[in-house]
Chain A
Amino acid sequence: MNSAFIRTTSVTVAVLVLGVCVMTSLRAQTQASVQATTTTQKSVGRGWPVPMPLKPFDGYPDEDFVGAVTPWYYTTSTTATGGKAPAGIQPLPRDIFTSKDFYSDRDLWMDRRYYRCNSPIALDSIWGDYSSGPRALDNDDPKTAAWGHCERDYPRAAIVSPYPFKTAREHYEALLAETKTRGGPTEQTKDTLPDWNGRYTRNLNLVFGRGRRGGAGDPLPQVFAEPPQWVVGWANQMPTILSLLTPQYQQRYVQQMYHKVNSNAAQFSLMYCRPEGLLRWWSGPGGPSQLDVMVVPGRVQFLGGTDNALRHVQIGRAFDLKGKVPHLGAEVPSWLGETIGFWDGDTLVTWTSNVQGWFTHSSWEYSNQMQLIEIWTPRRFADGKFAGLEHETIFYDPEAFVQPVRDVRFFSRRGDLKDAPPFHLVHCNQTIFVGEDGRGTQVPPGTTIRYTVRDLYDRPWARIWEQYFEKGMKRPAETDELGGFK
């Protein structure tokens, strides 16, 4: 079974083929092989199509890579190098690679040339510090950074949630009410549970490093089709992602990118043994590249992703709605949040809340208000054999986002749990510390260093950047009201 987004997109394509000329910059998606979905009519809040035609899916979208470099795929697609601008592009007098104060450049933030038309993930990896990605600047000089493709961008309209809900609660309750009209939620027993148990992986991991091999390789099956993975960060210009964020979170995102490309002062959470946070589960670096799914009555377990990510869906339970955010246990925000859910036939609908706000490198920061609606829908090959799970996520965060956004991706089932290598519980042993220059540096055992204790809940990454790299910048004053006391 495939979700409605592909099937309906195919219908849209058919209409296009018949002569309706829209979105001339995008080619139509042809998904002839996809199968019918179980959703016989449009749901109130799941499976809606991306509201525009998509390019044909083959799993290696090299013509969509926006930035000069794209890690994992290991692709270089520069349009100009050595600090020169591409033909026909008038560069800005200063940009994120040359500016001495990004705060003073706020008027330029929404101009893609400020980033030399690089995607978020290209900016994050342009120094070549992703082992899976090439480098695109010369002589450690950010002024020489390469340009990406100014003409490419995944449309904002395809990113924002198509659903009419303002909150995750509204969304979840609407889906719950919908399943009740069909006699749901489905009470699964050991005998009726869908057999989802197994190990899964993302499409990205199936084509990992293909650019290093010159792009050669077979296309992925059409049943694996997914829209461009904008969350991963390769499909967009920076201003498109910024347009989704509130002004405060725009500033935080530009701050992160500035210190990545200009200061060369990356801060990946685990390098300092900080937690990874929930969004890491969707980000490029985070995966999960290997996802173990276990299903029992009353609970679905997802195990996979960096930092021992373990998520439990509590089936049939309800959040306590008193308090600032819905919560299941104590009103204590947690790194991966708490998740409830229900079955609608063989589709799993979940709601995650009580999340600790955080950031993952290459992605935007999010707040404790972030809540997620996720829909897991099985897909099958033409012969009926189970292929994997479509994973639709709607992100609600009124503090960080100006409106909810959505991602749809696919996890293919790679094998049985009994065949998967054992899970290794890892514990972070910090070997990298903030050096005298504010950048992370490896410290051998036995070395005595000067160490500043950071407040984990006060954006420690930002405090380090501010201390070492923002002297003389015109950073807007933060409100520091402490109960009104002097």
Chain B
Amino acid sequence: MQRLRRRLATGLTLATIAAVASATASAHHSFAMYDQSIKYVFTGVVERVNPDSSHLQIAFVPLNEKRDALVRDSSGKPATWLVEMGGSAASAREGITVNDFPRGTVFSVGLVPLRNGQRGGARVEGLFKCAVGKTPAPGQHCDSVEGATSHGNGGLVKPTATWTPE
């Protein structure tokens, strides 16, 4: 029984790594910095897309649960997150580019967060962009919005936790 549990745990770990790797093909760094036991799903607003060769990154500010305002930290500043994914060329093949995700774009993404608690993470599974001018209903994500576009394989990852600002 213990061996079965160990095999299950190993299998789950490998599956998680595979999921991360699928979003970050040709990764050029270790993923030890991420706590892969935690998965957040955010719906947020693009601040900027950084088209770096090894990992495209999207800086974004999460929307609140009502989806009508930016989440802010204790000092009142927008609580910017940074999510990285595959290289810019690979991401472009998924339709994620500087031009397709301009500042102000609303999108939803799942990620595994940094272990150190800073607001960064690596994307897992699919990403959805809301149609221009549309936001999800309270508590919902862009995959529920009419006219949304899917980027990358699969749906949004199932979250294991909810992030709350410090």
Residues of A within 8 A of B (CB): 323-325, 329-333, 356, 368, 455-458, 481-486
B106: chain A residues at CB < 8 Å are: 483
Which of A323, A457, A481 lies in contact with B48, CB distance below 8 A? A457
Specify the chain B residue showing the minimal Cβ separation from A335.
Answer: B53
Tally A-B pairs: CB < 8 A: 59
Interface pair A482/B98, CB less than 8 Å apart: no
In the complex, whether B47 has a CB less than 8 A from a CB of chain A is: yes
Specify the chain B residue showing the minimal Cβ separation from A324.
Answer: B99
A329-B89, A455-B59 known; A485+B98 contact, CB < 8 A: no
With A and B bound together, what is the CA distance between A331 and B56 in angstroms? 13
A368-B98, A483-B45, A485-B68 known; A331+B92 contact, CB < 8 A: yes
Which of A329, A481, A483, A486 lies in contact with B105, CB distance below 8 A? A483
With A and B bound together, what is the CA distance between A483 and B103 in angstroms? 7
Interface pair A485/B63, CB less than 8 Å apart: yes
B137, chain A: closest CB distance, angstroms: 16
Which of B50, B70, B105 lies in contact with A457, CB distance below 8 A? B50
B6, chain A: closest CB distance, angstroms: 40
26 A-B pairs, CB-CB below 8 angstroms? A323-B99, A324-B99, A325-B99, A330-B88, A331-B92, A331-B97, A331-B98, A332-B51, A332-B88, A332-B89, A332-B92, A333-B51, A455-B59, A456-B50, A458-B48, A481-B103, A482-B45, A482-B47, A482-B70, A482-B78, A482-B103, A482-B104, A483-B46, A483-B106, A485-B68, A486-B70
B98: chain A residues at CB < 8 Å are: 331-333, 368
Describe A's contact surface by its main secondary structure.
loop
Residues of B within 8 A of A (CB): 45-52, 59, 61, 63, 68-70, 78, 88-89, 92-93, 97-100, 103-106
B48: chain A residues at CB < 8 Å are: 455, 457-458
Specify the chain B residue showing the minimal Cβ separation from A325.
Answer: B99
B49: chain A residues at CB < 8 Å are: 457
Q: For the complex of A and B, list the 7 residue pairs with the smallest distance between their C-beta atoms, beginning with the closest.
A: A330-B92, A483-B104, A324-B99, A330-B89, A332-B88, A483-B45, A331-B97
A330: chain B residues at CB < 8 Å are: 88-89, 92-93, 97
With A330-B93, A456-B50, A456-B52 given, name 6 new contacts (CB 8 A): A332-B51, A458-B48, A481-B104, A483-B103, A485-B61, A486-B69
B121, chain A: closest CB distance, angstroms: 16
With A and B bound together, what is the CA distance between A458 and B98 in angstroms? 13
With A and B bound together, what is the CA distance between A34 and B52 in angstroms? 47
A457: chain B residues at CB < 8 Å are: 48-51
A483-B45, A485-B68, A485-B69 known; A332+B97 contact, CB < 8 A: yes
A484: chain B residues at CB < 8 Å are: 104
A293, chain B: closest CB distance, angstroms: 26
With A and B bound together, what is the CA distance between A91 and B10 in angstroms? 77
With A and B bound together, what is the CA distance between A432 and B98 in angstroms? 30
With A and B bound together, what is the CA distance between A455 and B93 in angstroms? 24
A323: chain B residues at CB < 8 Å are: 97, 99
With A and B bound together, what is the CA distance between A368 and B105 in angstroms? 19
B97: chain A residues at CB < 8 Å are: 323, 330-332
A456: chain B residues at CB < 8 Å are: 50, 52
B70: chain A residues at CB < 8 Å are: 482, 485-486
With A and B bound together, what is the CA distance between A457 and B104 in angstroms? 16
Specify the chain A residue showing the minimal Cβ separation from B92.
Answer: A330
With A and B bound together, what is the CA distance between A455 and B60 in angstroms? 13
B68: chain A residues at CB < 8 Å are: 485
Which of B51, B52, B70, B78 has the most CB atoms of chain A within a 10 A radius of its CB?
Answer: B51
B119, chain A: closest CB distance, angstroms: 12
B45: chain A residues at CB < 8 Å are: 482-483, 485
With A and B bound together, what is the CA distance between A347 and B48 in angstroms? 41
Which of A331, A481, A482 lies in contact with B99, CB distance below 8 A? A331
Specify the chain B residue showing the minimal Cβ separation from A330.
Answer: B92
B99, chain A: closest CB distance, angstroms: 4
Which of A333, A456, A484, A485 has the most CB atoms of chain B within a 10 A radius of its CB?
Answer: A485
A325: chain B residues at CB < 8 Å are: 99
With A and B bound together, what is the CA distance between A42 and B104 in angstroms? 48
B61: chain A residues at CB < 8 Å are: 482, 485
Specify the chain A residue showing the minimal Cβ separation from B89.
Answer: A330
With A and B bound together, what is the CA distance between A170 and B78 in angstroms? 43
With A and B bound together, what is the CA distance between A368 and B49 in angstroms? 13
Which of A330, A333, A368 has the most CB atoms of chain B within a 10 A radius of its CB?
Answer: A330
Which of B68, B78, B97 has the most CB atoms of chain A within a 10 A radius of its CB?
Answer: B97
With A and B bound together, what is the CA distance between A458 and B59 in angstroms? 11
B8, chain A: closest CB distance, angstroms: 39
Interface pair B104/A455, CB less than 8 Å apart: no
A307, chain B: closest CB distance, angstroms: 14
A331-B99, A332-B98, A485-B69 known; A455+B50 contact, CB < 8 A: yes
B88: chain A residues at CB < 8 Å are: 330, 332
A333: chain B residues at CB < 8 Å are: 51, 98
Specify the chain B residue showing the minimal Cβ separation from A479.
Answer: B103
B93: chain A residues at CB < 8 Å are: 330
A483: chain B residues at CB < 8 Å are: 45-46, 103-106
B100: chain A residues at CB < 8 Å are: 331
A482: chain B residues at CB < 8 Å are: 45, 47, 61, 70, 78, 103-104
A317, chain B: closest CB distance, angstroms: 17
Specify the chain B residue showing the minimal Cβ separation from A453.
Answer: B82
B90, chain A: closest CB distance, angstroms: 8
B95, chain A: closest CB distance, angstroms: 9
With A and B bound together, what is the CA distance between A93 and B140 in angstroms? 60
With A and B bound together, what is the CA distance between A199 and B49 in angstroms? 39
B59, chain A: closest CB distance, angstroms: 7
